[in-house]
Amino acid sequence: MVQEKWLSLLGLANRAGKIVTGEELVLKEIQKKRAKLVILTEDVSNLTSKRIKDKCSYYGIPVKQKGNRQMIGAAIGKHARVVVAVTDEGFSKKLLTLLD
């Protein structure tokens, strides 16, 4: 199976130290305006989804919903993850074009 480009790029961003995972850490990055893009999985809980989306909309940070927790976890070499914040402008711009 060919891995989707955005997942490869997410893995690259992770190796470059430009992503943060985990709901609480992501919320902190959003509040500090360090998150440039937030990616939620499609299997995220409604509560988590609402918390993250509300915070992103308040701070004007783009949010995309794509993939599932296993896909994102595998892409960044960790266990299942439901939310990822990209903290680098370059990575986030490229990811946004791939996710549209």
CA 26 to chain centre: 9
Percentage of the chain exceeding pLDDT 90: 95
CA distance 5 to 94: 10
For 71, 82, 85, the CA distances from 43, given in Å and listed in that order, are 11, 7, 17
- Where residue 100 falls among pLDDT bands split at 50, 70, 90? confident
pLDDT of residue 3: 57
- 66 vs 2: which has the higher pLDDT: 66
pLDDT of residue 1: 39
pTM beyond 0.85, yes or no: yes
What does the pLDDT average to over 63-91? 97
> What are 3-52's pLDDT values in tens digits?
589 999 999 999 999 999 999 999 999 999 999 999 999 999 999 999 99
Taken in order of first residue, the domains within the chain and their CATH numbers are 5-99 (3.30.1330.30)
pLDDT of residue 79: 94
Q: Which are the contacts of 43, defined by CB distance < 8 A and separation ≥ 6?
A: 68, 69, 82
Q: Residue 2: pLDDT above 70?
A: no
User: Which of 25, 22, 89, 24 lies closest to 62 in space, CA to CA?
Assistant: 89
